[in-house]
Structure 1
Amino acid sequence: MLSIPIDIESFVPMYEQIYSYIKNEIKDGRLSEHYKLPSARSLAAHLNISRNTVDMAYSQLVSEGYIEAIPKSGFYVAAISALASIPLMPVSKKEEKKEEKKSFHYDFSPFAIDINSFPYNIWRKLSKDCMNEYNNELFLLGDSKGDEALRTAIAGYLYSSRGVICSPEQIIVGAGTDYLLLLLSRLFFWQKFEAENTAPALMAMENPTYKRAYEIFTGMQFEVLPIELDQNGICVDSLFKTKADIVYVTPSHQYPLGVVMPVKRRQELLSWASLKRERYIIEDDHDSEFRYKGKPIPALKGMDSLGKVIYLGTFSRAIAPAIRVGYMVLPEELLILYKKHLGMFSSTVSRVDQYIITHFLSDGYFERHLNKIRTLYKNKHDLLLQTLKIFHDRIIIEGEHAGLHLVVYFKTSLTEKELLDLAAGNGIRLYGLNRHYITPNTGTLPGILLGYANLSEEEIKKGTLALYEVLKDILTV
């Protein structure tokens, strides 16, 4: 008879204690295959517990395949000895090192924000207001494009801050830019289908670019044509030489190089789009709120009089990454196509979140929040530039005065990977530029995206000085 220790004071149910004991005995080989277990009645009597408890334990063991029930005979240990005897493969030191999560003293991430600046009190108040108003309709499906109140608030914000004139009807709200790019890809498919155009879908993109967008487009069967950049942004002359009808750009602050596209180049881009009916420009205005010198650059969409620009924006950079709320402004012609073929897709943003962001925008909280974090980020931006002066002329800085990172080229014979590894070995996490290129980067100097948003001012100073100490002996003039 099995002597199973039962702890009647344990929070673990007794049937689970019996189940675990027998399972471990089988796995460890102490109960061999085909061993006959005592009947539920006799084991219950032996343990002085209810038979139902034993029945539950046996039932779980049978369902998991540790034991089998043979009619009119009883319960037997199943033939799993081969599994029980398989030794665990030792993890090699190389694999162990790979699985180990590397910790860094300083992380110059270009993707992070200062989460300490999140407006907790306002968000808590708006969340409470949302619940206190007994908005039962918020728990029902709303407009598939997003609640009209939110789209109206976004339209007002775009007009006042980005110079974009659009109606709430043109705005599609979705859970982040990636989701909206997927919708847009499907929209272009239907555009080609209705035009009875069987040619491969061609998309032009800046090189380097936001690589996630590139992955989405290629995953949706677009052929992506990389277009080089100059000091004014994407080279429109090169774009004219392609057969692409769609181009993805980040004109207000090119990602990742930080180039601001001047008015003349924007007009050239709009002229390219105007030559064919099916041509469109996707404008990703990802971090246009953060400009620290001069006036904000109006959106390319604000210059669009022919309905050729599809505008993409998000609140993730300005509020928090977890606030997965993005929006897309469609030209009228594409909006008709959207309603016809994609109107059945429900909005992927919770209506509670939509309510909060609506009031965050319309009640003036967002504007005040932006003013606060612009000052915060400008101070960090200026401090980083000041601290980098310790490198003198052994580095080249580009992309300053906007966004949440600088592009820094180091004058060294090291490759980008060697520089990243050297910094990582000294507790400093850097982010290379090469990963953002569609085609290989032909630059001779290793480029680094040096982010500062998630670092305190003290960390910026200490981290930059620590980086200098690591690199000072391998940099050249």
Structure 2
Amino acid sequence: MLSVPIDLESPVPMYEQIYSYIKNDIKDGRLTERSKLPSARSLATHLNISRNTVDMAYSQLVSEGYIESVPKSGFYVAAVSALASIPLMPLNRKENKKEEKKSFLYDFSPFAIDINSFPHNIWRKLSKDCMNEYNNELFLLGDSKGDESLRNAIAGYLYSSRGVICSPEQIIVGAGTDYLLLLLSKLFSVQKTDNPVIIAMENPTYKRAYEIFTTGMQFEVLPVGLDQNGIRVDKLSGSKADVVYVTPSHQYPLGLVMPVKRRQELLSWASLKNERYIIEDDHDSEFRYKGKPIPALKGMDSLGKVIYLGTFSRAIAPAIRVGYMVLPEELLTLYKKHLGMFASTVSRVDQYIITHFLADGYFERHLNKIRTLYKNKHDLLLQALKIFQNKIILEGEHAGLHLVVYFKTSLTEKELLDLACSGGIKLYGLNRHYIVPGANTLPGILLGYANLSEDEIKKGTLALYEILKDFLTD
């Protein structure tokens, strides 16, 4: 029998105390998956409280997907414990505090956006439209995959801009890519119960995804090297991987574009076994400044092998925690059967705003505006970097929100970062994105420009040159 400590003098209602206690036990693994909970009547008798109080606690736990009610059997811990306990931010907090205290004259962050370009007036209008008397249903629980109207709008956007043909039914809406990767990882675990899932990733790669797969879900991850066309399929074919995570339209962080032939090779690899899949993270496909946008790999997928991930965080704002995932039909069936109990993690109010931002044409106009803004900054940075002459090597230009710059110097990456830091310039090294160390002989830097003004780009680049010029060679 659960011995839930009840504080009768606490301002927190008793049902919330019971709810929090059981939820924490599930998250911490003390209540394991499929464990049976005491009936509401017996727990109320044990705690000497009203049964209604226990009913309210259980109802909240069911709503959030922590427990399940099985007719004529009782309440059981849902298949959520491993997911709920994942540390979503496996970061060194002490190091973060030190960084926060340090102020910089110029921060060339590759992760930032130009927040001044946020469409305040349109967002305010849509928010006001949402809060009218006809939208009371937005305060009720909606579809666990996301509101159908939003999924319809996303499907239309993907077809027109990325060449992806999918039904709204295949789309899962969630609070950012990290959460969707967690759901996807759980889905792989359900699908492969006989052998552990092995995931291949580009090296270098998006390290947040790597941390979720390894630290969060404890999957084995195999790093696969790149050539000028992206991930090496010949190396992938020789591995034991079941799933591969790629960023084909704009490889993160190097900025490579995977050509059609390599994409076909990757799809052929996936087609050789039933349970092989490709995760396509299309994180910043909106920003291409030379030529036409690169179509999504998902648009070439005729066998249902590509899982497509997208987000609005880069195109609108990081705090807009709305991402989406397109599942192949086979995985969609598994999702409905095993993960359908998870409620959507995106507020229905936010879903309403995003829906109309897409469907009413605001998003397209916003993209056109910021694409021009970022192109101007991109071109200005390229011009400003000419002061370095032949002492640097550039990669990844013409797309995304950062350049990769290799400096011809005997300095190590850390020495270069520290030297820039001492001069008030925040730089971001390439090495942190490698699963295993790369073969780079020169220190590489991800030089972001989105959050800097044009004046800051010019002055910051000149200041960086003055700091490094005595350490550079031809």
Fold conserved between structures, TM > 0.5: yes
CA–CA separation in structure 1 for the residues paired with 2:196 and 2:320: 35
Query: Which residue matches 1:26?
Result: none
Task: Please point out which of 425, 430, 433 is paired with 2:427.
Answer: 430
CA–CA separation in structure 2 for the residues paired with 1:267 and 1:134: 49
AA at the equivalent of 2:152: T
Secondary structure of 2:450 counterpart: coil
Query: Which residue matches 1:461?
Result: 458
Q: Deviations over 1:178-219 (max 9, x none)?
A: 0000000000001012xxx2x222100000000000000012
Distance 1:98 1:164, change over 3 A: closer
1:250 equivalenced with 2:277 (yes/no): no
1:205 equivalenced with 2:201 (yes/no): yes
Q: Deviations over 1:67-106 (max 9, x none)?
A: xxxxxxxxxxxxxxxxxxxxxxxxxxx99x9487100000
Query: Which residue matches 2:320?
Result: 323
Query: Which residue matches 1:120?
Result: 120
1:188 equivalenced with 2:173 (yes/no): no
Secondary structure of 1:134 counterpart: helix
- Map 1:247-396 → 2, pairs under 5 A: 247-396=244-393
CA–CA separation in structure 1 for the residues paired with 2:421 and 2:340: 48
Query: Which residue matches 1:137?
Result: 137
Secondary structure of 1:386 counterpart: helix
1:214 equivalenced with 2:214 (yes/no): no
AA at the equivalent of 1:284: D
- Tell me if the contact between 2:189 and 2:196 (Cα under 8 Å) persists in the aligned partners: no
AA at the equivalent of 2:445: I
The Cα of 1:264 is off from its aligned counterpart by 0.5
CA–CA separation in structure 2 for the residues paired with 1:443 and 1:105: 29
The 4+ residue runs of structure 1 with deviation greater than 6 A are none
CA–CA separation in structure 1 for the residues paired with 2:104 and 2:136: 47
CA–CA separation in structure 1 for the residues paired with 2:207 and 2:292: 28
AA at the equivalent of 1:127: S
CA–CA separation in structure 2 for the residues paired with 1:330 and 1:98: 41
- Tell me if the contact between 2:203 and 2:226 (Cα under 8 Å) persists in the aligned partners: yes
Q: Percent identity between the aligned chains?
A: 89
The Cα of 1:312 is off from its aligned counterpart by 0.1
Query: Which residue matches 2:152?
Result: 152
Aligned-residue Cα RMSD (Å) equals: 1.3
Q: Deviations over 1:19-73 (max 9, x none)?
A: xxxxxxxxxxxxxxxxxxxxxxxxxxxxxxxxxxxxxxxxxxxxxxxxxxxxxxx
Secondary structure of 1:248 counterpart: strand
Give the total of aligned pairs: 379
- Tell me if the contact between 1:108 and 1:452 (Cα under 8 Å) persists in the aligned partners: yes
Secondary structure of 2:290 counterpart: coil
CA–CA separation in structure 1 for the residues paired with 2:231 and 2:373: 31
TM-score by length of 2: 0.79
Secondary structure of 2:409 counterpart: coil
The Cα of 1:390 is off from its aligned counterpart by 0.4
Query: Which residue matches 2:414?
Result: 417
Distance 1:291 1:133, change over 3 A: farther
CA–CA separation in structure 1 for the residues paired with 2:98 and 2:451: 25
- Map 1:227-238 → 2, pairs under 5 A: 227-238=224-235
Q: Deviations over 1:234-263 (max 9, x none)?
A: 000000000101000000000000000000
Distance 1:100 1:176, change over 3 A: closer
AA at the equivalent of 1:149: S
CA–CA separation in structure 1 for the residues paired with 2:133 and 2:113: 32
- Map 1:44-193 → 2, pairs under 5 A: 98=98, 101-193=101-193
CA–CA separation in structure 2 for the residues paired with 1:99 and 1:208: 24
Distance 1:121 1:462, change over 3 A: same
AA at the equivalent of 2:350: D
CA–CA separation in structure 2 for the residues paired with 1:163 and 1:333: 21
- Tell me if the contact between 1:201 and 1:221 (Cα under 8 Å) persists in the aligned partners: no
TM-score by length of 1: 0.78
- Tell me if the contact between 1:174 and 1:347 (Cα under 8 Å) persists in the aligned partners: yes
The Cα of 1:440 is off from its aligned counterpart by 1.2
Q: Which runs of 5+ in 1 are unaligned?
A: 1-93
Secondary structure of 1:247 counterpart: strand
CA–CA separation in structure 2 for the residues paired with 1:283 and 1:186: 17
- Tell me if the contact between 1:153 and 1:358 (Cα under 8 Å) persists in the aligned partners: yes
Query: Which residue matches 2:37?
Result: none
Query: Which residue matches 1:23?
Result: none
Q: Which runs of 5+ in 2 are unaligned?
A: 1-93
